[in-house]
Structure 1
Amino acid sequence: MHHTLDVISTNRVMYGSDWPVCLLSASYDEVYQLLKEILPIGVRSEEEARIIAINAAQLYRLERHCQNQKFDFYGERHPS
C-alpha cells in the first residue's frame, strides 16, 4: 500500500472488496478495520476519504446522484 500511494497517489486509488463473500470470514466492521490497518500512518483524513469513497463516486459518476443526500465518507446517511 505504501508503494502504491507513493507512486500513483491517493487521487487514483480506491478501496474494493469481495463483498458479500468477505462476510463468510469477517463482519463488515472487521473488513473495514483491516483496510484502516493497511493504510500508511500519516494518511490524512481527506486522503482516506478519497480512497474509501470519493474516487469511486467520481469514477462511476455518482456525485450528482448523491448531491442532495448528506453522507459522510463511510456511507452513513445523515438528515439534511
Structure 2
Amino acid sequence: MKFAYLIQSADNGRRMSSGVISVDPPPSLAELAAELVQRNRAEHSYYTGPRTCWVWAHDGQQSLTRLETGPDGAERFDL
C-alpha cells in the first residue's frame, strides 16, 4: 500500500520533506509517522525541534509539490 507524507517543523510550519512510501503490510499510521520522523531527524539533524507529520493513503495521482499542510483525510502526528 502507498502512503504520502509531509513533514514540517512544528514551530514555524517550514516544509522539511515529503514523499510517497510503499509499505506492505501497512503499519499503523502512528508507527509509520514515527518512523518517517525518525528518518527525518537523521537527515536534518541541524533542526532539533518538534515536527508535524501528515500521513495519508496515496492514490498515485496527487502531486505533493505545493502542499502546505496535509490534505483532507490526512492524519496529523506531532512528534
With the length of structure 1 as denominator, give the TM-score of the two structures.
0.33
Give the TM-score of the pair, scaled to structure 2: 0.33
Please say which structure displays the higher CA radius of gyration. Answer: 1
